[in-house]
Amino acid sequence: MKTDFAQIVRPLLEWYGKNARTLPWREDPAPYRVWISEIMLQQTRVEAVLPYYERFLSALPSVGALAEAPEEQLLKLWEGLGYYSRVKNLQKAARMVVECWNGELPADAEELKKLPGVGDYTAGAIASIACGKPEPAVDGNVLRVCARLLASRENVGSPSVKRRCTELLRRVYPQGEEGAFTQAMMELGAMVCLPNGAPRCGECPLADLCAGRREGIAASLPVKTRNPARKIERKTVFLILCGERVALRKRPEGGLLGGLWEFPNVAGNLPAQCAERVLKKWEILPRTMEPTAEAKHVFTHLEWKMSGYTVSTGQTSPDFEWVPYDRLETSYAIPSAFKTFLNLLREHGGYVKI
Ligand code: SF4
């Protein structure tokens, strides 16, 4: 017999009451705070989010402050978290909330989904945790728990499976404990019913109710069809140094990492002769040119494989912004994709001087 979801509510809530981690967005689950936490937690671990969360909230404590923040401040607050479209959408949504709802996030999940960057999961999380609505928030963690509870071998990536889990959960939401139930499902997925074949069934409050455990197949669930392979892009990155300044340029708005700053780079892993030709095109006359260590950066559907050169030159080129080292990290948002190259500049406790 498959698990009856009505039976999971009490043991799950009891377990959550005793075992929930203390997290800042749980201590004060105001809609704005829950919203920011859920957006930060997309594709980022809780431990990594914590320092960013506190910093962001103290710099921009309200929807209104977020709506009015200058873009450079916003990108700086997000620097290191990656997936910058998240913070850009946050601001667009904040402006919409100010305009259409007087600065108060709506409590209804359907209304929340009208905001840029807010999908089913985030809307469910805000509506249930912050507003006490019986709205499930079903992400990969929750889908995994459901698939195991039901001993389901269906592909959890399919929209119909997600819809079914959402409906099963929606029917059993406990009145007055909606937020705790949403968070208890999330917490069980994060702390006990772990991915990659490692559920800790011995510690699980739902062990007696779980069909996956009973049938001995929990570790092999959920079934997922493979994602298509990531596209590889090769790049050559140039650290061009002139005196105590380094060349940067702004990435075009709208695309990947749009509007952020980067070290000049071109497609392909170029040998030195070709790299020199690129420099010539930029009207950079190198005094010295050394290859750097290689680096890679993985996005969701894309991987950059980067090689690079450190170049010293005596003259600047109008193609770039020439930034003094001491302003590089305080005033320019550089995506973490370039961190190997930024570290090169930082190494030995100061910036390399050539
Ligand atoms: Fe997951 Fe095991 Fe708990 Fe089932 S018993 S929900 S597989 S941890």
**Coil vs helix vs strand at 75:** helix
Q: For 234-251, what is the mean pLDDT? A: 93
Return the pLDDT at 80. 86
Return the pLDDT at 227. 65
Residue type present at position 134: P
295 φ/ψ angles, rounded to the nearest 5 degrees: -145, 155
Burial of 52 (0-12, 13-18, 19+ CB in 10 A): middle
Q: Which of 14, 27, 38, 329 is catalytic?
A: 38
- The residue whose two tokens read 């498959």 is 2
State the pLDDT confidence band at 353, using cuts at 50, 70 and 90.
very low
Pocket of ligand 1 contains residue 8 by CB under 6 Å: no
Estimate to the nearest angstrom the gap between the alpha carbon of 335 and the chain centroid: 13
Q: For 172-197, what is the mean pLDDT? A: 96
Return the pLDDT at 352. 47
Q: Whose CA is nearest to atom 5 of ligand 1?
A: 207
In this structure, are residues 159 and 222 in contact, taking their beta carbons and an 8 Å threshold?
Answer: no
Which is the closest atom of ligand 1 to the Cα of 200? 8
Return the pLDDT at 348. 39
In this structure, are residues 6 and 209 in contact, taking their beta carbons and an 8 Å threshold?
Answer: no
Pocket of ligand 1 contains residue 218 by CB under 6 Å: yes
State the pLDDT confidence band at 244, using cuts at 50, 70 and 90.
confident
Length of the chain as a residue count: 354
What is the bridge-based pairing of β-strands 245-250 and 286-291? unpaired
Is 99 tagged catalytic?
Answer: no
In this structure, are residues 308 and 291 in contact, taking their beta carbons and an 8 Å threshold?
Answer: yes
Q: Is pLDDT above 70 for 111?
A: yes
- The residue whose two tokens read 């009015």 is 68
What is the bridge-based pairing of β-strands 302-313 and 231-242? parallel
Return mean pLDDT, the chain.
92
Q: Is pLDDT above 90 for 347?
A: no
What is the bridge-based pairing of β-strands 245-250 and 321-324? antiparallel
Q: Is pLDDT above 50 for 350?
A: no
Q: For 33-55, what is the mean pLDDT? A: 94
Pocket of ligand 1 contains residue 12 by CB under 6 Å: no
**How far is residue 63's CA from residue 105's CA, in Å, rounded to a whole number?**
8
